[in-house]
Amino acid sequence: MSELRWDPLKLHWVIIATERGRRPRDFQSEPEPLPVTSCPFCYGNEDKTPPEIFAIRPSGMPNTPNWKVRVIPNKYPALRIEGELENRGHGPYDVMNGIGAHEVIIETPDHDKSMADLAPAELTDVLVTWRTRLLDLRRDFRFRYMILFKNHGARAGASLAHSHSQLIAVPMLPPVATTELKVCRTHYANKERCLFCDLITFELEQGVRVVREFSNFVTLAPYAASFPFELRLYPKRHSHDFALMNDAQLAELAVALKDMLMRVKLVLKDAPYNFILHTCPPMHKRPGKPAMWTSLEYDYHWHIELVPRLTSIAGFEWGTGFFINPTSPEDAALFLREAEV
């Protein structure tokens, strides 16, 4: 059973994933890329993964081929779904048992296609699957937040090359989400406007950091990007929850997401990247506990954040929480805007 431990100096939780139990020699070598025949995410190898949770499959039985998108539990989960939450002190520390969910969304049966290569209709299936899984996990009152993310490339943390994203449900609100939600709430309380809407309006006026604008979405390089070629993809109209997007909206988002991934692939020569979906946390309350967040409809704004892994986080970044970005967001936007996709 994993443990969540509270760092009393940095004020954050750490997941000690003892089931992975990695010893010194486990870190010595890079994992070998798997041949297609033994890839657990390919057709015919469905029995090499835990039984599927969800799939888009025009016909046929679960855990057989012919699916378009397939969702499975992570074989080596950071957090486990079984059990009750326990939250207790330990001397000067705090510890919680590692309850959560850790799912893998296999985005395509094609071993050699990256997410950028998927057709908009295929990408729409992936987005519909994200929405389905988010809505389902929100029904579990133990979970305070769901993080949907993708690691593309070994240097970005992908342990398997076959294109996939991941969904982790955690029993408490993570620090990044807490800060964002608090900042938005304060801004709304002061101004009765969404902070993200204000920033998007300013960016569309300025133009220099805009990479591509669609009818309902915009891709831009954030003003204070922590990393070179960092990007955000926003819905232009206010919307606090990705899971409320209808199929037509997801179809347009698929086009915008593909455009963003294609530009990154082209300009940065298929650099490794991470992207993260930031959406509002579930609004439910735990039985016997107060709700942490209610009525975020007005103050929060969902978005996708993409970070190409071009530089490494070194001593300065880890030790300070400051970031040094050697490419200005205006230059990054220019390079990406001019790419011919």
Find the binder of a second copy among 59, 82, 319, 340 (CB under 8 A). Answer: 319
Beta-carbon-side half-sphere exposure of residue 13 (alpha carbons within 13 Å) = 19
Could you say whether residue 132 binds a second copy (CB under 8 A)?
A: no
Query: Which among 102, 152, 164, 187 is annotated as catalytic?
Result: 164
Cα distance between residue 200 and residue 222, in whole Å: 10
Q: Of 34 and 199, which has the nearer Cβ to a second copy?
A: 199
34 near a second copy, rule: CB under 8 A: no
Judged by CB under 8 A, does residue 23 bind a second copy? yes
Q: Which neighbouring-strand residues pair with 87? A: 96
Residue position matching structure tokens 């409320």: 244
Q: Which of 176, 243, 244, 283 binds a second copy (CB under 8 A)?
A: 176
**Site membership for a second copy, residue 289 (CB under 8 A):** no
Active site includes 187? no
Of 37-45, 104-112, 212-220, 273-281, the segment contacting a second copy by CB under 8 A is: 273-281
Nearer to a second copy, 254 or 264 (CB): 264
User: DSSP 3-state assignment of 194?
Assistant: coil
> To the nearest 10°, the Cα dihedral for 82, 83, 89, 92?
-10
Scanning the structure block, which residue is given the tokens 């089931």? 19
Q: Does 311 bind a second copy (CB under 8 A)?
A: yes
Tell me which stretch binds a second copy (CB under 8 A): 23-31, 67-75, 126-134, 243-251. 23-31
Quote the CA–CA distance of 182 and 185 in Å, as a whole number: 5
Q: Does 268 bind a second copy (CB under 8 A)?
A: yes
Q: Give, in order, the Cα–Cα distances in Å from 302 to each of 120, 235, 256, 297.
A: 21, 8, 15, 11
151 is an interface residue for a second copy by CB under 8 A: yes
Please tell me whether 39 is known to bind a ligand.
Answer: yes
- Residues 246, 22: Cα–Cα separation, whole Å: 42
- Binding residue positions for Zn(2+): 39, 42, 111, 162
**What are the catalytic residues?**
164
